[in-house]
Amino acid sequence: MYSINAHAKVNIFLKITGYKDGYHTLISRFVKVPDLYDTIKFVPCDCETFTIEGCDNVPLESNTIYKAFTALNDFTGDLDILNFFYKHKVVVTKRIPSQAGLGGGSSDAAAFMRLVKETCKLLISTDDLADIGSKVGADVPFFIYDYDSANVAGFGELVMPFEEPPLSLDIFTPDIGCNTAEVYKTFNTYLLRNVDLTSFFGWDKMDSRTLLTLIGDPVALNDLFPAAMAICPELEKAKKEGWFFSGSGSSFFRLKEA
Protein backbone atom coordinates (compact mmCIF):
# COMPACT_ATOMS: atom_id res chain seq x y z
CA MET A 1 0.00 0.00 0.00
CA TYR A 2 1.34 3.42 -1.01
CA SER A 3 0.41 6.61 0.86
CA ILE A 4 1.01 10.38 0.73
CA ASN A 5 -0.36 13.38 2.61
CA ALA A 6 -1.96 16.23 0.67
CA HIS A 7 -1.58 19.39 2.75
CA ALA A 8 -3.84 22.42 2.82
CA LYS A 9 -2.57 25.94 2.09
CA VAL A 10 -3.55 29.46 3.04
CA ASN A 11 -3.09 32.63 1.00
CA ILE A 12 -1.28 35.20 3.14
CA PHE A 13 -2.16 37.73 0.47
CA LEU A 14 -3.91 37.40 -2.89
CA LYS A 15 -3.91 40.27 -5.37
CA ILE A 16 -5.42 40.17 -8.85
CA THR A 17 -3.06 41.64 -11.44
CA GLY A 18 -5.13 41.38 -14.63
CA TYR A 19 -7.44 39.39 -16.87
CA LYS A 20 -6.34 37.54 -20.00
CA ASP A 21 -7.88 34.91 -22.26
CA GLY A 22 -10.81 34.41 -19.90
CA TYR A 23 -8.66 33.90 -16.78
CA HIS A 24 -7.41 36.15 -14.00
CA THR A 25 -3.72 36.63 -13.32
CA LEU A 26 -2.56 37.11 -9.76
CA ILE A 27 0.27 37.31 -7.30
CA SER A 28 -0.11 35.55 -3.99
CA ARG A 29 1.82 34.07 -1.08
CA PHE A 30 0.92 30.43 -0.53
CA VAL A 31 1.86 28.83 2.78
CA LYS A 32 1.50 25.10 3.46
CA VAL A 33 -0.48 24.11 6.55
CA PRO A 34 1.48 21.23 8.10
CA ASP A 35 -1.23 19.95 10.44
CA LEU A 36 -4.19 19.88 8.02
CA TYR A 37 -4.08 17.36 5.21
CA ASP A 38 -5.96 14.74 3.22
CA THR A 39 -4.37 11.30 2.80
CA ILE A 40 -4.13 9.56 -0.58
CA LYS A 41 -3.51 5.81 -0.63
CA PHE A 42 -3.11 3.31 -3.46
CA VAL A 43 -4.67 0.11 -2.16
CA PRO A 44 -4.34 -3.29 -3.90
CA CYS A 45 -7.58 -4.12 -5.70
CA ASP A 46 -8.63 -5.83 -8.93
CA CYS A 47 -10.33 -2.91 -10.69
CA GLU A 48 -12.13 -2.92 -14.03
CA THR A 49 -11.68 0.84 -14.31
CA PHE A 50 -10.00 3.72 -12.47
CA THR A 51 -11.55 3.67 -9.00
CA ILE A 52 -11.63 6.36 -6.30
CA GLU A 53 -13.10 5.90 -2.84
CA GLY A 54 -13.67 8.65 -0.28
CA CYS A 55 -14.96 11.35 -2.62
CA ASP A 56 -18.56 10.18 -2.82
CA ASN A 57 -20.10 13.60 -3.42
CA VAL A 58 -17.92 14.38 -6.45
CA PRO A 59 -18.69 12.86 -9.89
CA LEU A 60 -15.68 10.99 -11.28
CA GLU A 61 -15.28 13.32 -14.28
CA SER A 62 -15.17 16.35 -11.96
CA ASN A 63 -12.74 14.82 -9.48
CA THR A 64 -9.33 16.51 -9.58
CA ILE A 65 -7.59 13.20 -8.96
CA TYR A 66 -9.27 11.68 -12.01
CA LYS A 67 -8.36 14.77 -14.04
CA ALA A 68 -4.75 14.36 -12.89
CA PHE A 69 -4.83 10.67 -13.87
CA THR A 70 -6.13 11.58 -17.33
CA ALA A 71 -3.59 14.39 -17.77
CA LEU A 72 -0.70 12.12 -16.79
CA ASN A 73 -1.83 9.44 -19.24
CA ASP A 74 -2.24 11.96 -22.04
CA PHE A 75 1.25 13.37 -21.45
CA THR A 76 3.22 10.18 -20.90
CA GLY A 77 1.34 7.50 -22.80
CA ASP A 78 2.87 5.16 -20.23
CA LEU A 79 0.99 1.87 -20.03
CA ASP A 80 2.53 1.22 -16.60
CA ILE A 81 0.13 3.85 -15.18
CA LEU A 82 -2.92 2.17 -16.68
CA ASN A 83 -1.79 -1.27 -15.58
CA PHE A 84 -1.03 -0.07 -12.06
CA PHE A 85 -4.59 1.19 -11.59
CA TYR A 86 -6.08 -2.06 -12.80
CA LYS A 87 -4.39 -3.51 -9.71
CA HIS A 88 -4.92 -0.62 -7.28
CA LYS A 89 -7.70 1.73 -6.25
CA VAL A 90 -7.30 5.26 -4.91
CA VAL A 91 -8.59 5.75 -1.36
CA VAL A 92 -8.90 9.33 -0.10
CA THR A 93 -9.30 10.28 3.55
CA LYS A 94 -10.69 13.82 3.44
CA ARG A 95 -9.91 16.29 6.22
CA ILE A 96 -9.63 19.53 4.24
CA PRO A 97 -13.11 21.03 3.82
CA SER A 98 -14.37 21.70 0.29
CA GLN A 99 -14.99 25.19 -1.14
CA ALA A 100 -12.98 26.59 1.75
CA GLY A 101 -10.06 28.39 0.07
CA LEU A 102 -7.58 25.82 1.39
CA GLY A 103 -6.75 24.12 -1.91
CA GLY A 104 -7.95 20.64 -0.97
CA GLY A 105 -8.86 19.48 -4.47
CA SER A 106 -5.68 20.86 -6.01
CA SER A 107 -3.54 19.40 -3.24
CA ASP A 108 -5.16 15.99 -3.74
CA ALA A 109 -4.42 16.11 -7.47
CA ALA A 110 -0.80 17.12 -6.91
CA ALA A 111 -0.20 14.50 -4.22
CA PHE A 112 -1.70 11.86 -6.51
CA MET A 113 0.63 12.87 -9.33
CA ARG A 114 3.70 12.87 -7.07
CA LEU A 115 2.81 9.42 -5.74
CA VAL A 116 2.21 8.05 -9.26
CA LYS A 117 5.62 9.40 -10.32
CA GLU A 118 7.20 7.49 -7.42
CA THR A 119 5.27 4.24 -7.64
CA CYS A 120 5.37 3.94 -11.43
CA LYS A 121 8.96 5.25 -11.62
CA LEU A 122 8.06 7.88 -14.20
CA LEU A 123 11.03 9.58 -15.86
CA ILE A 124 9.52 13.03 -15.66
CA SER A 125 10.90 16.19 -14.06
CA THR A 126 9.15 18.11 -11.32
CA ASP A 127 8.84 21.08 -13.68
CA ASP A 128 7.08 18.93 -16.27
CA LEU A 129 4.84 17.46 -13.58
CA ALA A 130 3.91 20.99 -12.49
CA ASP A 131 3.16 21.94 -16.10
CA ILE A 132 0.83 18.94 -16.43
CA GLY A 133 -0.75 19.87 -13.11
CA SER A 134 -1.46 23.40 -14.32
CA LYS A 135 -3.90 21.88 -16.81
CA VAL A 136 -5.79 20.31 -13.89
CA GLY A 137 -6.03 23.41 -11.70
CA ALA A 138 -4.33 26.76 -11.16
CA ASP A 139 -3.15 25.88 -7.63
CA VAL A 140 -1.78 22.43 -8.51
CA PRO A 141 1.78 23.54 -9.44
CA PHE A 142 2.36 24.95 -5.94
CA PHE A 143 1.46 21.60 -4.41
CA ILE A 144 3.59 19.71 -6.95
CA TYR A 145 6.68 21.61 -5.81
CA ASP A 146 5.69 21.00 -2.17
CA TYR A 147 7.25 24.21 -0.88
CA ASP A 148 6.45 25.35 2.65
CA SER A 149 6.05 28.90 1.37
CA ALA A 150 6.08 30.37 -2.14
CA ASN A 151 5.12 33.39 -4.17
CA VAL A 152 2.73 32.28 -6.89
CA ALA A 153 2.06 34.44 -9.94
CA GLY A 154 0.61 34.47 -13.44
CA PHE A 155 -2.22 31.98 -13.78
CA GLY A 156 -0.67 29.97 -10.92
CA GLU A 157 2.06 28.39 -13.04
CA LEU A 158 4.85 30.64 -11.73
CA VAL A 159 5.91 29.26 -8.36
CA MET A 160 8.90 30.82 -6.60
CA PRO A 161 9.99 29.40 -3.21
CA PHE A 162 10.09 31.94 -0.40
CA GLU A 163 12.42 31.33 2.52
CA GLU A 164 10.90 32.33 5.84
CA PRO A 165 10.37 30.93 9.35
CA PRO A 166 7.41 28.52 9.54
CA LEU A 167 4.11 29.94 10.74
CA SER A 168 1.82 28.39 13.32
CA LEU A 169 -1.76 29.07 12.28
CA ASP A 170 -5.28 28.70 13.59
CA ILE A 171 -7.87 27.96 10.88
CA PHE A 172 -11.59 28.52 11.13
CA THR A 173 -13.93 27.28 8.38
CA PRO A 174 -17.60 28.22 8.77
CA ASP A 175 -20.25 25.94 7.29
CA ILE A 176 -20.32 28.00 4.10
CA GLY A 177 -19.24 26.87 0.65
CA CYS A 178 -17.78 29.52 -1.67
CA ASN A 179 -17.89 28.65 -5.36
CA THR A 180 -14.53 29.74 -6.77
CA ALA A 181 -15.84 30.36 -10.28
CA GLU A 182 -18.65 32.57 -8.97
CA VAL A 183 -16.27 34.53 -6.73
CA TYR A 184 -13.95 35.28 -9.65
CA LYS A 185 -16.90 36.12 -11.91
CA THR A 186 -18.20 38.60 -9.35
CA PHE A 187 -14.75 40.13 -8.93
CA ASN A 188 -14.41 40.49 -12.69
CA THR A 189 -17.81 42.20 -13.03
CA TYR A 190 -17.58 44.66 -10.18
CA LEU A 191 -14.01 44.98 -8.89
CA LEU A 192 -11.50 44.30 -11.69
CA ARG A 193 -11.61 47.95 -12.77
CA ASN A 194 -10.30 48.96 -9.33
CA VAL A 195 -7.06 46.95 -9.54
CA ASP A 196 -4.08 49.11 -8.53
CA LEU A 197 -0.77 47.36 -9.17
CA THR A 198 1.11 49.86 -7.01
CA SER A 199 -0.91 49.13 -3.87
CA PHE A 200 0.93 45.88 -3.12
CA PHE A 201 4.38 46.72 -4.47
CA GLY A 202 7.08 44.84 -2.56
CA TRP A 203 4.73 42.45 -0.75
CA ASP A 204 6.36 39.46 -2.46
CA LYS A 205 9.63 40.32 -0.66
CA MET A 206 8.14 40.67 2.84
CA ASP A 207 7.85 37.67 5.16
CA SER A 208 4.34 36.46 5.92
CA ARG A 209 4.32 37.34 9.62
CA THR A 210 5.35 40.92 8.84
CA LEU A 211 2.68 41.21 6.14
CA LEU A 212 -0.09 40.02 8.44
CA THR A 213 1.09 42.31 11.23
CA LEU A 214 1.81 45.38 9.10
CA ILE A 215 -1.21 45.31 6.77
CA GLY A 216 -3.67 43.75 9.20
CA ASP A 217 -6.72 44.23 6.96
CA PRO A 218 -8.21 41.05 5.41
CA VAL A 219 -9.86 43.06 2.61
CA ALA A 220 -6.60 44.79 1.69
CA LEU A 221 -4.71 41.48 1.75
CA ASN A 222 -7.20 39.45 -0.30
CA ASP A 223 -8.89 40.98 -3.36
CA LEU A 224 -11.41 38.13 -3.47
CA PHE A 225 -12.82 38.72 0.02
CA PRO A 226 -15.34 41.42 -1.02
CA ALA A 227 -16.50 39.30 -3.98
CA ALA A 228 -16.90 36.26 -1.73
CA MET A 229 -18.95 38.29 0.76
CA ALA A 230 -21.13 39.54 -2.10
CA ILE A 231 -22.15 36.02 -3.14
CA CYS A 232 -22.03 34.56 0.40
CA PRO A 233 -23.42 37.29 2.71
CA GLU A 234 -23.15 34.88 5.65
CA LEU A 235 -19.39 35.51 5.63
CA GLU A 236 -20.04 38.97 7.03
CA LYS A 237 -21.40 37.40 10.22
CA ALA A 238 -18.77 34.64 10.27
CA LYS A 239 -15.72 36.89 10.07
CA LYS A 240 -13.89 37.69 13.28
CA GLU A 241 -11.56 40.49 14.33
CA GLY A 242 -7.92 39.59 13.74
CA TRP A 243 -8.66 36.77 11.27
CA PHE A 244 -7.67 36.76 7.59
CA PHE A 245 -9.42 35.27 4.54
CA SER A 246 -7.83 32.52 2.44
CA GLY A 247 -8.20 32.21 -1.33
CA SER A 248 -11.76 32.45 -2.58
CA GLY A 249 -13.01 31.27 0.83
CA SER A 250 -14.65 30.40 3.03
CA SER A 251 -11.83 29.74 5.55
CA PHE A 252 -10.29 32.29 7.90
CA PHE A 253 -6.89 32.03 9.56
CA ARG A 254 -4.74 33.85 12.08
CA LEU A 255 -1.34 33.56 13.68
CA LYS A 256 -1.47 31.36 16.76
CA GLU A 257 -0.83 33.17 19.97
CA ALA A 258 2.48 32.32 21.61
For the question of residue 139 being annotated catalytic, the response is yes
State the pairing for strand pair 52-53/88-93: parallel
Strands (E), 114-248: 149-154, 158-161, 169-172, 244-245
Instruction: Please tell me which residue in 9, 15, 32, 67 is annotated as part of the active site.
Output: 9
The string of DSSP letters for 18-62 reads EEETTEEEEEEEEEEEEEEEEEEEEEE---SS--EES-TTS-GGG
Instruction: Please tell me which residue in 38, 108, 139, 223 is annotated as part of the active site.
Output: 139
For the question of residue 9 being annotated catalytic, the response is yes
**169, 252 Cβ separation under 8 angstroms:** no
Amino acid type, 231: I
Q: Tell how far CA 178 is from the center of its chain.
A: 14
Cα–Cα distance measured from residue 43 to residue 24, given in angstroms and rounded to the nearest whole number: 38
Q: Give the active site residues.
A: 9, 139
